[in-house]
Amino acid sequence: MEADNTKSTAKGFSFLKLALFLLLLILVSGVVLYAFLDINPLDALSEGVTGLYNRIFTVGAGEIDALKETVKPVLTFDESENVYCSTVSNNLVAASVSSVRIIDPDGMEKAYLPVSLNKPFVMSYADDTLVADLAGHYFALIVNNRIAWEKNIDELIVNASISDTWILLITQSSQSGYKRTIRAYSKDGQEVSFRSVSNYYPFAVMNYPGYNKASFAVSSLEASGLEANGIFEILDPAMNQKASIKGENEIFGGCFPMMEERLLIYGEKSIMTIDKGYHTIWEKNYEEYSVTAANVINGRFPVAALLNNEKYSRDRHFLTTIQIYNGNGTEKTGFDIDAKVTGIVSKKKTAAVIAESEVLFINEDGEIMDRFTARSNVSGVYLAKDDLAYVVSGDTVSRVNIKVTQKFLGIF
């Protein structure tokens, strides 16, 4: 009797194991269908094996059209024409010497604003766009596809930027004994403060609310004899200097905000992060490499393009390491490419690496999620979203839908 009970119990456990195995198999299959093939498991049950096969292996006309729409030319222009681009509300903003045009991702023109610019420049923040003449006196603010206000100033503009609160300009000083002037305007166009500079040349000014709303970051060039040194400084809204860094035979290209109120600063031979109190958190110096581009991915991971100087001097061959760091300065990941990188643009979890005629779209793990290859060198990439870019190459601006890495079931 006990032997019979033992056999019955064993059979019961066997059936239970089989049922659990089948249930687990069904669950895993459902996850695979949903996560990797974008198929609802309930649809698979209702359509049967034949329907599931067709969903996976048959490409319809609509899907072919969708594939063709991954890359779409949205603007062409004369290559001799000076065009500068930005993005606003997923749209392309393109400024030329005679107009500012706003074009949607399908290539439809949303606005045409006549202007007269010598060297056009546009930059957007949220839904507002700054347009400026970087070899003239004119600048204006565009809101809702219209010019909200416009101004002409006495001094020539050489640099401009916009944030949520500020419009910042660098101008050639008309005052005797001064080289340039840094100017701060409110978003309604009223000048708030200015700083005249006599002994060096500011060439870029920025305000990053994510780092500090009440500070302006300025990159400058100090020329003395045959030497050229960079100066990076932080100013408050009254134009008082709060901190400064001087490079030794090194120019600081700029900076990017990070989470936890930190700022990534990059130069020709180094990168560093500072906190809101202007203290250095970590610093990397490169003896055998030149930093040709830098940025921050997802607000947390600095990325730098490091050109191998020895390789180029010896073989006249470009070899660049794309190095991604953790927030504490330790190396996270990296990879090499046989090209010179001229820019890195970032939007949330996507970074676009401009490498001659190719753009590599990478994530924080260094994974190349997608790529775009142009017929000639890429002169600019403008990310509207982390999965939408406008790429300028030759005489064409192309809208590119980026294939980004999706989270597994949206939770990992």
Mean per-residue pLDDT, 73-85: 94
Cα–Cα distance, 21 to 258 (Å, whole number): 47
Domains of the chain, by residue range, sit at 2-55, 286-412
Closest CA to 352 of 293, 397, 406, 308: 293
Lowest mean pLDDT among 46-50, 91-95, 106-110, 268-272: 46-50
Q: What percent of the chain has pLDDT over 70?
A: 83
Q: What's the confidence (pLDDT) of residue 409?
A: 44
Closest by CA to 224, choosing from 248, 253, 243, is: 248
- Average pLDDT score over the chain: 89
Mean pLDDT of the 152-168 span:
97
- The pLDDT-based confidence of 408 (bands split at 50, 70, 90) is very low
Report the relative pairing of strands 378-385 and 341-347 from DSSP bridges. Answer: unpaired
Which of the pair, 93 or 58, is modelled with greater confidence? 93
For residues 317-327, average pLDDT:
97
**pLDDT value for 412:** 43
- Please report the pLDDT score of residue 48 as a whole number: 56
Instruction: Give the model confidence (pLDDT) of 88-123 as tens digits.
Output: 999 999 999 999 999 999 999 999 999 999 999 999
pLDDT given at position 373: 96
Residue 255 φ/ψ, nearest 5 degrees: -155, 165
Task: Please tell me the distance from the alpha carbon of residue 98 to that of residue 21, in angstroms, as a whole number.
Answer: 69
How far is Cα 101 from Cα 94, in angstroms, rounded to an integer?
Answer: 5
pLDDT of 406 strictly over 90? no
Indicate the pLDDT class of residue 69, thresholds 50, 70 and 90.
Answer: confident
pLDDT, residue 149, reads 98
C-alpha to C-alpha distance for 127 and 111, rounded to whole angstroms:
14
Residue 369 has pLDDT above 80, yes or no: yes
Mean pLDDT for the stretch of residues 11-30: 66
pLDDT of residue 57: 52
Q: How far apart are CA 58 and CA 174, in angstroms?
A: 68
Q: Find the range with the poorest average confidence among 6-15, 23-32, 202-211, 385-394.
A: 6-15
Question: What pLDDT is recorded for position 49?
Answer: 53
pLDDT at 14: 64
Res 29: pLDDT: 66
What is the pLDDT averaged over residues 155-177? 97
Looking at residues 163-192, what average pLDDT do you find? 97
In this model, does residue 166 exceed pLDDT 90? yes
Could you confirm whether domain 286-412 is CATH 3.40.50.720?
no
- The answer, yes or no, to whether residue 174 has pLDDT greater than 80, is yes
Give the other-Cβ count within 10 Å of 91's Cβ. Answer: 24
Structure tokens at 112: 């045409």
Task: Report the predicted TM-score, pTM, of the whole model to 2 decimal places.
Answer: 0.83
Q: What integer is the mean pLDDT of 291-315?
A: 96
